[in-house]
Every structure is written in structure tokens, then in C-alpha cells.
């Protein structure tokens, strides 16, 4: 059994670049792997940030498909709030360079401490918060969940976020059931209660596991026992997204196109146009695409307000910021201080991840 798992992992390692590239799919998944979906999904999925065709941190708009760009992928959890003002508990910044065919992926720590300004959300919601709360604060204040999250991530990393895509995990579980399940390589054993039956415990054993929608949601939800694992939730959510995407673009799903389109239209939002989606898919779908992951190192700490945050190593955070700038073809600076951002907290270095 152990040997079989090792072989599977080695095989997956060889595939990692291609499979991580499928995170674009959000990209292709937004259109189901082809333009068939655009007419059904795009109207419901498109979300304008109200800032024109570029980030405020760009002097000029980027030409998507020809120039390096950044995309913020957000996994929204709103099952505990009955679909209202959920939290962006997964935030992944992707950069894509069409010339080098290089993709980078950076998970933004969900417990990062940031300052949300009153100028954006009003006095009642302003102040210090964990970064995953930006989405809900943007929603309840009327500023816009996607807009506030994008701007907060821009501030924290001091890079422009050119486009975004949000995914409601409940929607993905519907797709999982429609596709007949997804297979995920579980890295560490753990358990979680079912979202459908509190008395039901779902066990996850190490190794490849075929999951239905109920099991998949439990897989991405668990965090209460994260302290005892070296297998954080953001990593599990990335695995889930990748597995769902892989299944969604398989040949057999073409016959389920209408059903998938209905689910995507209700659970995915983006400000990528169909033309931009096509340009990205065309450029990065080849075997030549290479993927690199940037990690913000740090540790969990209880700060003065009594809450736990993941406190990043300052050198690591600075390196990630500069690496992202380099990936976008922007000028980086050695020893860059996060206090230069537009509305960063003096304690920004006290930010965090799961």
C-alpha cells in the first residue's frame, strides 16, 4: 500500500506543472473548456470592479495574452452565513507571463492582519481585521466584496491585481456530484464533520481518495485541527480546485455542459472577458507552461488584541513581494518596506496565513 502511494505521488509530481496550470481553469472552467459556455455563463458571472480597464497601480492597461498579468483567485465560504457576506478563505495570486510561459502561484495567508480604511467601508467596519474578512466587509458595507479584497491584496503585496475570479465552494460541490466525484491525493489523515449531518464524521486517509460533493466540502472546510497538521486548508483547497477543474474539462463532461453552466453562473464571478479568457487559455494550455510557487514563511502568534495571526518572516515577505514584481516585469526594490503601501497598517508584518 505504501509503495503504491509513493508511486502515485511521484507520478503527480511529474504532472504538477500541468495540473497547477489548470488553476487557470477557473479560466477554462468559467467557459467549460470552450466558448460553448460563454453565452450561458458570462452574463451571470461578469463582475465589474468599477475601476476601468486597469488597476490603480498600473500606469497603463495591460494587454492580456501579450504581457505579464496577475489574477486573484478567491475561494468564498458562505455556507455558515446562508449565502450572505461570506469570507474569502482562499486567496491565490497567480502571475502569467505569455513570453516565458511561466506561471507563479502565491497563497495569501488568510489570517493576515490588515487595516481596512473608513474611506472604503465606513467607520462601523473600519479598523484592523484578518485579510479573509475583507470580502464580507466589502459586501456588508456596500463597497463590494471582490473590489475590497482585490484592493487589500494589492496593498499588502504592493503589486497590481489585473483580474480576479471568485468561486463559491458550495457550487464546486454541486459540480463534483454532477461529475461523479473527484479524486484527490490526501497528504495527511484527518477527519471532519459532514456539512449535511453534524453527527456524521468523514474520515480522510492518506493517499488517493475519490470524493463526492459532501466529502469534498468536508475536505476543504476542516481547520480546527490544522494546528496538529502540516497540511493547511489553503493547500487542500488548491488541491480541490485543481481536481474539480481536471474533471470538468474531461471529454465526458461535454454532455453535461448545460448543467455545469447553470452551476457556474450561480457560483463564479470574474472580470475577465471572454476574449481575455480565450487568450490566456490559448497561451498557457501547452506543455511548455512552467509553474513556480512562492511561499510566505512565518508562524502563528497571539497578538496584543488577543487574536491569533500568522506573523510572516519580514525577509520572506519582502522576497515574495519582489519575486512577484519580477514576475510581472515591474521594478523591484531591495529591502522594500510594506509601510509604503497606500493604506497599510504599521503592523502589516503581523499578517498571516493558515
- Of 264, 86, 240, give the one whose Cα is nearest residue 175: 264
Average pLDDT over residues 321-337: 80
H helix or E strand, kind and range, residue 311: strand 308-312
Average pLDDT of the segment spanning 215-236: 75
Mean pLDDT confidence for 60-72: 93
At CA 335, angle to CA 332 and CA 337, rounded to 5?
Answer: 90
pLDDT at 285 over 50: yes
106 or 238, higher pLDDT:
106
Comparing 76-85, 148-157, 324-333, the range with the smallest average pLDDT is 76-85
- 41 pLDDT above the threshold of 50: yes
Interval 120-178: pLDDT, tens: 999 999 999 999 999 999 999 999 999 999 999 999 999 999 999 887 766 667 778 88
Whole-number pLDDT of residue 318: 96
DSSP, res 342: S
Residue tagged 511561499 (cell numbers): 295
State the pairing for strand pair 127-130/113-116.
Answer: antiparallel
pLDDT of residue 103: 85
What residue has cell string 492580456? Answer: 64
The secondary structure of 204-269 as a DSSP string is E-SEEEEE-HHHHHHHHH--TTGGG-S--HHHHHHHHHHHHHHHHTSGGGGGGHHHHHHHHHHHEE
Please, what sign has the CA dihedral across residues 269, 271, 272, 275?
positive
Cell numbers representing residue 183 in the block: 479524486
**Tens-digit pLDDT profile for residues 246-273:** 676 564 655 666 676 677 677 778 888 8
Q: What percent of the chain has pLDDT over 70?
A: 69
Average pLDDT estimate for 35-52: 65
Query: Which domains does the chain possess?
Result: 16-350 (3.40.630.190)
DSSP codes joined into one string, 280-304: HHHHHSSTT-EEEEE---EEEEE-T
**Grid-cell match 473548456, residue found:** 33
Determine the pLDDT at residue 75: 81
CA–CA gap between residue 171 and residue 262 (Å, rounded):
10
What's the residue count for the chain?
354
* β-pairing verdict for 163-168 and 69-77: parallel
Choose among 166, 264, 168, 170: nearest CA to 218. Answer: 170
Q: Which triple of cell numbers denotes residue 280?
A: 490566456
Q: Which range has the worst mean pLDDT, 124-133, 184-193, 228-237, 319-328?
A: 228-237
Question: Which positions ≥6 away from 264 have C-beta within 8 Å?
Answer: 29, 30, 32, 37, 41, 45, 171, 175
Q: Among 34-38, 45-49, 161-165, 330-334, whose mean pLDDT is lowest?
A: 34-38
Amino acid at each position: 500500500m505504501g509503495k503504491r502511494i509513493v508511486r502515485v505521488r511521484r507520478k503527480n509530481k511529474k504532472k504538477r506543472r500541468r495540473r497547477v496550470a489548470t488553476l487557470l481553469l477557473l479560466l477554462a472552467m468559467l467557459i467549460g473548456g470552450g466558448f460553448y459556455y460563454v453565452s450561458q455563463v458570462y452574463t451571470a458571472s461578469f463582475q465589474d470592479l468599477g475601476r476601468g480597464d486597469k488597476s490603480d497601480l498600473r500606469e497603463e492597461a495591460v494587454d492580456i495574452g501579450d504581457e505579464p498579468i496577475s489574477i486573484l483567485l478567491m475561494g468564498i465560504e458562505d455556507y455558515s452565513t446562508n449565502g450572505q457576506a461570506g469570507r474569502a478563505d482562499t486567496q491565490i495570486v497567480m502571475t502569467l507571463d505569455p513570453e516565458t510561459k511561466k506561471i507563479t502561484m502565491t497563497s495569501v495567508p488568510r489570517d493576515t492582519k490588515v487595516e481596512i480604511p473608513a474611506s472604503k467601508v465606513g467607520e462601523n467596519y473600519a479598523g484592523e481585521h484578518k485579510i479573509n474578512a475583507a470580502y464580507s466587509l466589502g459586501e456588508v458595507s456596500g463597497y463590494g466584496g471582490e473590489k475590497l479584497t482585490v484592493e487589500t491584496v494589492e496593498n499588502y503585496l504592493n503589486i497590481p491585481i489585473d483580474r480576479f475570479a471568485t468561486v463559491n465552494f458550495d457550487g464546486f460541490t454541486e459540480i463534483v456530484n454532477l461529475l461523479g466525484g473527484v479524486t484527490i491525493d490526501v497528504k495527511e489523515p484527518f477527519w471532519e464533520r459532514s456539512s449535511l449531518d453534524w453527527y456524521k464524521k468523514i474520515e480522510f486517509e492518506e493517499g488517493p481518495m475519490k470524493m463526492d460533493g459532501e466529502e469534498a466540502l468536508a475536505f476543504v472546510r476542516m481547520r480546527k485541527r490544522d494546528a496538529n497538521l502540516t497540511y493547511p486548508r489553503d493547500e487542500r483547497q488548491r488541491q480541490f480546485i485543481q481536481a474539480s477543474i481536471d474533471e470538468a474539462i474531461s471529454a465526458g463532461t461535454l454532455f453535461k455542459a448545460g448543467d455545469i453552466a447553470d452551476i457556474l453562473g450561480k457560483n463564479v464571478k470574474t472580470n475577465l472577458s471572454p476574449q481575455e479568457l480565450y487568450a490566456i487559455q490559448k497561451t498557457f494550455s501547452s506543455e511548455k507552461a512552467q509553474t513556480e510557487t512562492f511561499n510566505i514563511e512565518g508562524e502563528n502568534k497571539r497578538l496584543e488584541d488577543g487574536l491569533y495571526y500568522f506573523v510572516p518572516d519580514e525577509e520572506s515577505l519582502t522576497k515574495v513581494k519582489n519575486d512577484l514584481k519580477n514576475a510581472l516585469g515591474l521594478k523591484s526594490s531591495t529591502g522594500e518596506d510594506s509601510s509604503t503601501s497606500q493604506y497599510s497598517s504599521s503592523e502589516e508584518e503581523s499578517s498571516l496565513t493558515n
